Chain A
């Protein structure tokens, strides 16, 4: 089935067209790592997405905004992603996709489709930091203790030397800088592993 045929089926509200929307757009998007995490956080189900899309496309005739540039599937998925990214109730007080959609009619601002979600990115960074830290722990727990005492408790090298019975403050500094280097090097390796596993 071509995009044009699918578009017509969706527009004419046929079951066949909307079944494909479910299979090609809603189901894969709600399983994608980023959207699944946000949906869980904002309590959005895939049924909500389907209802929203139907309401927007049919009841509000947004389907007429599709100009055939790019795939129909990609266009719909972008719409769904925009909806999910903007569903943060703290941001709007209500769920709204208006500002997220490229075809919204409020000038340049409408083109600002969010490409990532700061909270999700921060969570990923946090998770990765923990992975690197665990890696550091496995290499030598003393390094991890020094890292925590420096960065979390802001102890001086002299204080850490006394706390952990390290031979000198200079040695504490050396271990700390090595631990930072170790974590920096571990990051890309663990990131590759995560992508590979994920």
Chain B
């Protein structure tokens, strides 16, 4: 895989709406220009109040990304390998896992 040399691409994923804002989440996966298989895409994860999630697993493209202080990393090649994987979840200790979806943002 190779991303365009002159464009940064950020995919945004949102949780399905929940009553409590702290249960919601928003994840952004950013591919830097010219990323290849071994490059790392940056993942940021905040809750519904825009607070970085201190500790979580973000499940996307068949990968479980370790999130600490709202940040994590995803190997670009792994993302492409899992491009057909449907499940998107955020797992936080002591909270119900909340599913989400890719959005246009």
Contacts and interface: CB of A to CB of B under 8 A. Distances in A.
A144 B3 CA distance: 17
Interface in A132-159: 133-134, 137-138, 140-142, 144-145, 148-149, 151-153, 155, 159
Contact of A148 (B61, B84, B104): B104
B2 A142 contact: no
Contact of A142 (B9, B31, B83, B103): B83
Contacts of A134: 101
B21 interface: no
Interface residues of A, number: 22
Contacts, number: 56
B97 interface: no
Contacts of B101: 133-134, 137
Interface footprint category on B = 10 to 19
Contact of B1 (A141, A142, A151, A164): A164
B84 A142 contact: yes
A138 B2 contact: no
B32 to A, nearest CB: 12
A144 B84 CA distance: 10
Q: Which of B9, B31, B83, B104 has the most CB of A within 10 A?
A: B83
A137 B84 CA distance: 9
A141 B103 CA distance: 12
Given A153-B9, A155-B7, 4 more contacts: A133-B101, A141-B83, A145-B11, A145-B102
11 contacts: A130-B104, A133-B101, A133-B102, A134-B101, A141-B86, A141-B102, A145-B83, A153-B9, A155-B4, A162-B2, A164-B80
Interface of A: 129-130, 133-134, 137-138, 140-142, 144-145, 148-149, 151-153, 155, 159, 162-165
